[in-house]
């Protein structure tokens, strides 16, 4: 999936400001793309994790992927015990 998202990212052109900085539009579009990736990742996980997936999807703003991964690991560790 990472390869597909990398390919997608290379195909889209998010405009930057002419002064060389990142515009508010760039930040907004970048955040939107990251949210799409997170949602796709969460929808692809095993159905047994639907409770934690629902909790994560309700978080505003979305946590970053590292935080989500840690939450899923915690859930998995609780299931093993």
Average pLDDT over residues 50-59: 92
Average pLDDT, the chain: 81
Q: Look at residue 79 and tell me whether its pLDDT is greater than 70.
A: yes
Report the predicted TM-score, pTM, of the whole model to 2 decimal places.
0.67
At residue 2 the predicted structure's pLDDT band, cuts being 50, 70 and 90, is confident
* Contacts with 62 (C-beta within 8 Å, 6 or more apart), sequence order: 34, 35, 38, 56, 68
pLDDT digit string, tens, across residues 12-42: 666 665 665 566 766 777 788 888 888 888 8
């Amino acid at each position: 999936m990472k390869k597909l998202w990398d390919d997608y990212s290379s195909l889209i052109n998010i405009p930057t400001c002419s002064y060389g900085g990142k515009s508010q539009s760039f930040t907004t579009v970048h955040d939107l793309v990251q949210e799409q990736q997170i949602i796709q990742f969460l929808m692809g996980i095993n159905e047994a994790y639907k409770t934690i997936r629902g909790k994560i999807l309700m978080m505003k703003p979305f946590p970053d992927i590292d935080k989500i991964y840690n939450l899923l690991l915690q859930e998995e560790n609780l299931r093993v015990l």
